[in-house]
Amino acid sequence: MLIGAESVLSALVDGVLIGSIYSLIAMGLALIWGIMDVINFAQGDYMMLGAFLTYWLYVLAGIDPLLSIPLSFATVFVMGVITQKAVIDRILDAPMVSQITATFAVLLIIRYGAEVVFGPYTRRLTVSYLSEVLRFGPIVVPMNRLVAFLVSIVVTAVLFLFLKMTYTGIALRAVSQNREAAYLMGINVSRMYWIAFGIGVGISAIGGTLLATFYPIHPEMAAFFTLLAFIIVVFGGFGSVFGAYISGIIIGVTESVSALFISPTLKDVVAFLLFIIVILVKPTGLFGKEQ
**135 touches other proteins (CB under 8 A):** no
Which position among 13, 171, 229, 234 is part of the footprint of other proteins (CB under 8 A)?
171
State in angstroms the smallest separation of the CB of 173 from other proteins: 6
Interface mask toward other proteins for 79-108; x: CB under 8 A: ------------------------------
State in angstroms the smallest separation of the CB of 240 from other proteins: 10
Q: Other CB atoms closer than 10 Å to residue 282's CB: what's the count?
A: 13
State in angstroms the smallest separation of the CB of 222 from other proteins: 31
Query: Judged by CB, which is closer to other proteins: 37, or 220?
Result: 37
**2 touches other proteins (CB under 8 A):** no
Q: How many residues bind other proteins (CB under 8 A)?
A: 18
Burial of 26 (0-12, 13-18, 19+ CB in 10 A): buried
**290 touches other proteins (CB under 8 A):** no
Query: Judged by CB, which is closer to other proteins: 131, or 190?
Result: 190
173 close to 162: Cβ distance less than 8 angstroms: no
Binding to other proteins (CB under 8 A): which residues in 173-232?
A: 173-174, 177-178, 180-189
Amino acid at 48: M
Query: Distance (Å, rounded) from C-alpha 162 to C-alpha 33?
Result: 18
Amino acid at 77: F
The set of residues, in sequence order, having a beta carbon less than 8 Å from that of 44 and lying 6+ positions away, is: 25, 204, 221, 222, 223, 224, 225, 226, 227, 229
Of 22-30, 168-176, 257-265, 270-278, which segment contacts other proteins by CB under 8 A? Answer: 168-176
Query: Judged by CB, which is closer to other proteins: 3, or 94?
Result: 94
Query: Judged by CB, which is closer to other proteins: 123, or 179?
Result: 179
Binding to other proteins (CB under 8 A): which residues in 246-285?
A: none
DSSP 262-290: T-GGGHHHHHHHHHHHHHHH-TT-TTPPP
270 close to 258: Cβ distance less than 8 angstroms: yes
State in angstroms the smallest separation of the CB of 239 from other proteins: 11
Burial of 87 (0-12, 13-18, 19+ CB in 10 A): middle
Query: Judged by CB, which is closer to other proteins: 177, or 263?
Result: 177
Query: Distance (Å, rounded) from C-alpha 195 to C-alpha 51?
Result: 22
**161 touches other proteins (CB under 8 A):** no
Task: Give the distance between the most distant pair of CA atoms in the chain.
Answer: 65
Of 22-30, 81-89, 148-156, 166-174, which segment contacts other proteins by CB under 8 A? Answer: 166-174
Of 133-141, 167-175, 211-219, 261-269, which segment contacts other proteins by CB under 8 A? Answer: 167-175
The set of residues, in sequence order, having a beta carbon less than 8 Å from that of 169 and lying 6+ positions away, is: 161, 162, 163
Query: Distance (Å, rounded) from C-alpha 76 to C-alpha 252?
Result: 25
Residues that bind other proteins (CB under 8 A): 167, 170-171, 173-174, 177-178, 180-189, 289
